[in-house]
Amino acid sequence: SQQGEEDPQALSIQEGENATMNCSYKTSINNLQWYRQNSGRGLVHLILIRSNEREKHSGRLRVTLDTSKKSSSLLITASRAADTASYFCATEGVGGAGSYQLTFGKGTKLSVIP
Amino acid sequence: EAQVTQNPRYLITVTGKKLTVTCSQNMNHEYMSWYRQDPGLGLRQIYYSMNVEVTDKGDVPEGYKVSRKEKRNFPLILESPSPNQTSLYFCASSLIGGGAQPQHFGDGTRLSIL
The confidence band for A97, taking pLDDT boundaries of 50, 70 and 90, is low
Question: What's B34's DSSP letter?
Answer: E
Q: Which residues of B63-101 are buried (b: 16+ CB within 10 A; e: fewer)?
A: ebebebeebbbbbbebeebeeebbbbbbbbbbeebbbbb
User: Among A83-92, B57-66, B93-102, where is mean pLDDT lowest?
Assistant: B93-102
Among A43, A46, A63, A106, the strongest candidate for a mutation testing the B interface, having the largest count of B CBs within 10 A, is: A43
Distance CA A27, CA A44 (A): 25
Question: Tell me, what's the pLDDT at A3?
Answer: 67
Cβ–Cβ below 8 Å for A92 and B98? yes
Decide which of A5 and A58 is more confident. A58
For residue A27, count other CB atoms closer than 10 A to its CB. Answer: 12
Q: Which of B9, B34, B43, B95 to mutate to test the interface with A (most CBs of A within 10 A)?
A: B43
A110 near B CB under 8 A: no
Closest CA to B67 of B80, B81, B82, B51: B51
Q: Which of A32, A42, A106 sits opposite B106 (nearest CB)?
A: A42
Q: What is the average pLDDT across A84-101?
A: 79
Nearest to A101 among B58, B100, B102 (CB): B58
Q: Which of B40, B42, B106 sits opposite A104 (nearest CB)?
A: B42
Chain B's closest residue to A42, CA to CA, is B107
Task: Please state which of the ranges A73-82, A95-104, B49-58 shows the lowest mean pLDDT.
Answer: A95-104
pLDDT of residue A16: 97
Average pLDDT over every residue of B2-25: 96
pLDDT in tens, A19-64: 999 999 988 888 999 999 998 899 999 999 999 999 999 999 999 9
* A44 touching chain B per CB within 8 A: yes
- pLDDT at residue B90, rounded to an integer: 98
Cα separation, B52 vs B48, in Å, equals: 11
- What distance in Å separates the CA atoms of residue A26 and residue A2, rounded to the nearest whole number? 6
A73 C-beta neighbours (distance < 10 Å), count: 18
Mean pLDDT for all residues in chain B: 95
Question: Are B46 and B75 a contacting pair, CB within 8 Å?
Answer: no
User: Does residue A92 register a pLDDT over 90?
Assistant: no
- Mean pLDDT, to the nearest integer, of B5-26? 97
CB-CB under 8 Å, B102 with A3? no
Window B:7-26, CB contacts with A under 8 Å: none
Q: Determine contact, residues B2/B103, Cβ cutoff 8 Å.
A: no
Q: What is the mean pLDDT of residues A81-86?
A: 97
